[in-house]
Amino acid sequence: MSEQVLFNSKILMDLVKVKMPFGKYKGSLICDLPEPYLVWFKQKGFPQGNIGVLLATIYEIKLNGLEYLLKPLKY
């Protein structure tokens, strides 16, 4: 299996396991953040590092109506 596929699956798993480390929704799972909050980040700029990658990824997932892809991973 390629490193790219493993990396992508890790991002998806992190979306349902990693909690927001700061801000208004501190402690909420990244996948549960409301879309308006993600839009605000998109406008202001996503933070650097892994949390920024996760926020940008969940923004794109929600923007495109793909949240259903994460449901099997949450359990």
What pLDDT digit, counting tens, does each position of 21-61 carry?
999 999 999 999 999 999 999 999 999 999 999 999 999 99
Contacting residues for 25 by C-beta, under 8 A, at least 6 apart: 33, 34, 37
Domain count, the chain: 1
Dihedral angle sign, alpha carbons of residues 45, 32, 73, 68: negative
Please give the average per-residue pLDDT across 53-72, as a whole number: 93
Closest Cα partner for 75 from 28, 22, 39, 31? 31
Q: Give this prediction's pTM.
A: 0.87
Domain enclosing residue 29, as ranges: 3-73
Quick count: other Cβ atoms within 10 Å of Cβ 36? 7
4-13, 51-60, 63-72: least confidently modelled range: 4-13
